[in-house]
Amino acid sequence: MALKFRGVDFIDFDSLLSEDEILVRDNTRKFVEENVIPGIEQWNRDGKFPRELIRPMGELGFYGANLKGYGCAEMSNVEYGLVMQELERGDSGLRSFVSVQSALVMYPIYAFGSDAQKDQWLQAMAKGEKLGCFGLTEPDAGSNPGAMRTRARKDGNEYVLNGEKMWITSGSIADVAVIWAKVDDERGNVRGFLVETDRPGFKAADIHGKWSLRASVTSSLSLQDVRIPASNILPKTEGLKNALMCLNQARYGIAWGGVGAAMAVYDCALQYAQFRKQFRDQPIASHQMVQEKLVWMINEISKAQLLVLHVGRLKDKNRAAHYHISMAKRNNVGIALECARMARDILGANGIADEYPVFRHMANLESVKTYEGTNDVHTLIIGQQITGIDAF
């Protein structure tokens, strides 16, 4: 990497953080600088997920970091958010992997699972010894998950699952999949099921040709008469709302991650503008139009920091509503993508070279803007809250 990250804090944001929060952030930042930054551009080129980082991240407590017990780090939601910020500053794909393991697999087991399921999976997942994936999205059911076609049929002491899932992070490396399906004998009610990936009829195939999240495993899942014991149902799931609760956890982490990606591209653009000379042998940072771009970026990053910190503080008091998290996700990913585009502009032709992280972040953020609720979906969630009218 051509430029070393210097940190981004225009408004003395750190003064709003506790010593423990700063320690968690700095430890994660150190991990990213030492273990992610040196290899990420090559992994991105190769379309390779760095599996060698799975166990070290477990040792640092990144998985299920804000859960209690089962060997989890028991961080506050703000501390967990700061971990997500730094991981995404490294790469969105890496943060996606940790988000899925934590918010979309460990959380539903923790919140909706039986004691036996928690004992079987959570401690091993916290260490990174077992990996999971989350099967909700389907080829024909993305923003409208209620249109899913995956079915579960009770057969004695077993359930038989049939269906297809699409765009599943970690699908082909997971030991267990949290599969959401409509139950035939419950009038199509949506329930969550734990499906071990070595069961007959379960197949995962990696999706190739991605221009985004290239250092992340993305898969399609196929379930053809997959039989699981009835004890594999998540007993406390009682509808699609439970799947959406999981998405809420993930969206919260993404909102922090967007700040990290924005920080990365802003700091790169600022440093570049300070040494790149053009016209009268002056650094381009001396030009009004370049300064205007940099000012827009730091202005929006500062607002994004304050927004997600406040939502995190609310979350730690159990007062964060889903529409608060939608606002943070929508805003922060949106400004991060715009920051990446502005940074690319400032770097000129160098902005498309992977000597710098800008284009990689820009491509990644195109996916981050879409998944866990598109920008439009979050707009409608907020619109529904402020008007009282559902416009979906």
Asked if pLDDT for residue 186 goes beyond 90, the answer is no
For the stretch 214-228, pLDDT in tens is 999 999 999 999 999
For the segment 283-305, the average pLDDT, to the nearest whole number, is 98
For the segment 25-47, the average pLDDT, to the nearest whole number, is 97
Pick from 142, 239, 136, 158: nearest CA to 191: 239
Asked if pLDDT for residue 3 goes beyond 60, the answer is yes
C-alpha pair distances (Å), 162 with each of 66, 178, 189, 194, 200: 33, 14, 15, 14, 12
The per-residue pLDDT for 2 is 65
For the segment 377-391, the average pLDDT, to the nearest whole number, is 96
> HSE (CB half, 13 Å, CA atoms) of 16?
17
The per-residue pLDDT for 188 is 86
For the segment 365-383, the average pLDDT, to the nearest whole number, is 95
Asked if pLDDT for residue 163 goes beyond 70, the answer is yes
For the stretch 95-146, pLDDT in tens is 999 999 999 999 999 999 999 999 999 999 999 999 999 999 999 999 999 9
Asked if pLDDT for residue 366 goes beyond 60, the answer is yes
The per-residue pLDDT for 313 is 98
Burial (Cβ within 10 Å: 0-12, 13-18, ≥19) of residue 126: buried
Asked if pLDDT for residue 15 goes beyond 80, the answer is yes
16 neighbors 313 (Cβ within 8 angstroms): no
Please indicate whether residue 372 is annotated as part of the active site.
yes
For the stretch 301-313, pLDDT in tens is 999 999 999 999 9
Asked if pLDDT for residue 172 goes beyond 60, the answer is yes
Mapped onto helix, strand or coil, the DSSP state of residue 374 is: coil
Burial (Cβ within 10 Å: 0-12, 13-18, ≥19) of residue 147: exposed
198 neighbors 247 (Cβ within 8 angstroms): no
For the segment 316-335, the average pLDDT, to the nearest whole number, is 98
| % of the chain with per-residue pLDDT over 70 | 99
Catalytic residue among 41, 86, 300, 372: 372
Q: How many CB atoms neighbour CB 384 within 10 A?
A: 15
Chain-wide mean pLDDT for the chain? 97
DSSP state of 279: S
The per-residue pLDDT for 123 is 98
64 neighbors 101 (Cβ within 8 angstroms): yes
For the stretch 252-273, pLDDT in tens is 999 999 999 999 999 999 999 9
Which domains does the chain possess?
A: 13-127 (1.10.540.10), 132-239 (2.40.110.10), 241-387 (1.20.140.10)
Pick from 371, 391, 376, 385: nearest CA to 322: 385
For the segment 233-251, the average pLDDT, to the nearest whole number, is 94
| % of the chain with per-residue pLDDT over 90 | 98
Asked if pLDDT for residue 1 goes beyond 80, the answer is no
